[in-house]
Amino acid sequence: MNPATFIFILTYILVALGENSPRKLDRPTATLLGAVLMVASGSLTRAEARTAIDISTLAVLFGLMLLLNILLTSGFPSWLAYRALNRCRSPQSLLALVIFCAGTASALMLNDTVCLLGTPLLLEITAQFGVPAVPYLLALATSANIGSVMTLTGNPQNIIIGQASAWTWSGFAVRMVPIGLLCLAANWLVLALLFRRQLAQVTLTQGPVSPPSSLQVDRGLAVKSLMVFTGLIIAFVLGLPMDFAAVAAATLLLVLANRPPHEALIKVDWSLLLFFAGLFVVVQGFLKADSQLLDILEGLTNALSEHLGLRQMALLSAAVVIGSNIFSNVPLVLTVSHWVDKMAHPQFLWLLLALTSTLAGNLTLFGSVANVIVAQLAQRQAPVGFWDFLRVGIPVTIVTTGLGVVLLWALAQFGWM
């Protein structure tokens, strides 16, 4: 076996195992190890390793994380969430509100950020309302994943697709927003059905819930953050380069915030950026090797994409869903992205890849980082176990992925690609 192929497979196994690996390596460390081995083995030169790192993708992630961290610091998103949740009058309406708010917020913000903000808020709200937290935590996680499919900046794998494909932010959104909203509605129907008895047995035990006294809204910072964030969305819609727009917006807000910049910079998820950087190097080493495995994979994907009927789309979708849960969706998308433009119907396949790799995150607890965030933050007050998530994840993934693929196929039939 080619050394690069061995390193590639080893890295994917370590990424899939996460901290359950023999040396307790987390995902960023696993890709860093793979990148070092690629250079040490001679599979890539140091210059090739530097070139492999996609600075544009890292810039988009960095800019969005910095911008959103400053916005969250203002306290405005939490205050707004309290106002929205206080309008609920029944457990069922609360479920619907969580699903659609989390979904639409994830379309504009990274899905992980929505879960970081939403989990503590839901734990407090459900405790005060006297309703079980687990159904709403599952609604938050699944809806954040589903909603993130609607834009190129909704999640990390879509950012990769945005940099690798010819889709503009607005062109992608016009096609994927209707699909995402219908999938959110399907998610609500599935969850309402699964938890109908549990929610029917409870009522909201009190009236409006006031935000905690510790929540202080910095109105000046909130206004500045919203203005800059709105400007960023406008820049995306106008077709400005996403990497420059994101970094420029974050830099502008750092200046306008009039706060020590390190307070915002320290909250950036640097480990996620390291994970991406290492992954770029590992995938490039594998692609350069031109191994037998690469030829087999490329041949399979080409054969399936030549005639994109519903059967072929179902097979491709199933392969992406399974692969995303074995190896994680970001590594899978990064690898497959090098072939899509060489395949038949590339523009359509980019959308299909974005849809299926994102919705695949709802299958298992470890299918998405957003799921893990919810589980970790809630483990003391309302534990969400692997089997708890799987019981919901299987029907949600099957229904939303099936619906999404059929809707995408219908768009293609009407020539709207």
CB atoms within 10 A of CB 407: 18
Question: What is the pLDDT confidence band of residue 211, given thresholds at 50, 70 and 90?
Answer: low
> What is the mean predicted confidence (pLDDT) over 32-48?
94
Percentage of the chain exceeding pLDDT 70: 91
The per-residue pLDDT for 289 is: 80
Task: Using CB atoms within 10 Å of the CB of residue 154, give its burial: 0 to 12 exposed, 13 to 18 middle, 19+ buried.
Answer: buried
d(CA 14, CA 167): 32
Work out the average pLDDT over 232-258.
94
Residues in the chain: 417
Tell me the domain boundaries of the chain: 3-52+75-217+269-413
> Has residue 66 got a pLDDT over 80?
yes
Query: Averaged over 216-245, what is the pLDDT?
Result: 94
- pLDDT for 305 beyond 70: no
What SS3 state is found at 116?
helix
Say which range, 84-88, 223-227, 381-385, has the weakest mean pLDDT. 84-88
* Token pair recorded at residue 170: 């607005």
The more confident residue out of 181 and 417 is: 181
CA distances from 284 to 39, 289, 342 (A): 11, 9, 17
Kindly state the average pLDDT of the residues 218-224: 93
How much is the mean pLDDT over the chain?
A: 88
Tens digit of each residue's pLDDT (9 = 90 or more) over 271-293: 989 999 999 999 899 888 866 65
Q: Check whether 304 has a pLDDT greater than 80.
A: no
Burial code (b: 16+ CB inside 10 Å, e: under 16) for 24-37 equals ebbbbbbbbbbbeb
Residue 163 contacts by C-beta under 8 Å, 6 or more apart in sequence? Answer: 54, 56, 57, 60, 242, 243
